[in-house]
Amino acid sequence: MGAMWFDSHVHFDRFVAQERLETLLEKAASAQVNRLLSVGGSPEANALSRRLAAAYEGLIFASAGYDRDLADVAYDASALEVQVADPLVRAVGETGLDYFHQQDNKKAQQALFGLNLELAVRYEKPVIVHSRAADEDTLAMLGDYAGRRREYPGVLHCFTLDRACARRLLDVGFMISFSGIVTFANADALREVVAYVPDDRLLVETDAPYLAPVPERGKENEPALVVHTGAKLAELRGCSVAAVAQLSMQNAWNLFGCGKRESVE
Q: What is the CATH number of the domain that holds 102?
A: 3.20.20.140
Q: How far apart are CA 153 and CA 146, in angstroms?
A: 6
Query: Per-residue pLDDT averaged across 144-153, rounded?
Result: 92
pLDDT of 261 strictly over 90:
no
Note whether residue 265 is domain-resident: no
Q: How far apart are CA 232 and CA 1, in angstroms?
A: 21
pLDDT of 174 strictly over 80:
yes
Q: How far apart are CA 243 and CA 245, in angstroms?
A: 5
Question: What pTM was computed for the model?
Answer: 0.95
pLDDT at res. 151: 87
Note whether residue 62 is domain-resident: yes
pLDDT of 265 strictly over 50:
no
| Domain that includes residue 16, residue range | 5-256
Note whether residue 214 is domain-resident: yes
pLDDT at res. 3: 85
Beta-carbon neighbour count of residue 243 at 10 Å? 16
Query: Per-residue pLDDT averaged across 174-194, rounded?
Result: 97
Note whether residue 262 is domain-resident: no
pLDDT of 97 strictly over 80:
yes
pLDDT of 77 strictly over 80:
yes
Note whether residue 263 is domain-resident: no
Split at pLDDT 50, 70, 90, the class of 46 is: very high
Note whether residue 178 is domain-resident: yes
Q: Are 208 and 10 in contact (CB under 8 A)?
A: yes
Query: Per-residue pLDDT averaged across 189-213, rounded?
Result: 98
Query: Per-residue pLDDT averaged across 56-60, rounded?
Result: 96
pLDDT of 252 strictly over 70:
yes
pLDDT of 222 strictly over 50:
yes
Break the chain down into helix, strand, coil percent, rounded to 5.
45, 15, 35
pLDDT of 177 strictly over 90:
yes
Q: Percent of the chain beyond pLDDT 90? A: 94
Query: Per-residue pLDDT averaged across 9-18, rounded?
Result: 98
Q: How far apart are CA 178 and CA 175, in angstroms?
A: 10
Q: How far apart are CA 139 and CA 116, in angstroms?
A: 15
Average pLDDT, the chain: 95
Number of structural domains found in the chain: 1
Q: Percent of the chain beyond pLDDT 70? A: 96
pLDDT at res. 1: 55
Split at pLDDT 50, 70, 90, the class of 263 is: very low
pLDDT of 22 strictly over 70:
yes
pLDDT at res. 150: 78
Note whether residue 118 is domain-resident: yes
Residue ranges in 40-198 assigned as alpha helix (H): 43-55, 77-85, 106-122, 135-146, 163-171, 188-194
Q: How far apart are CA 163 and CA 169, in angstroms?
A: 10
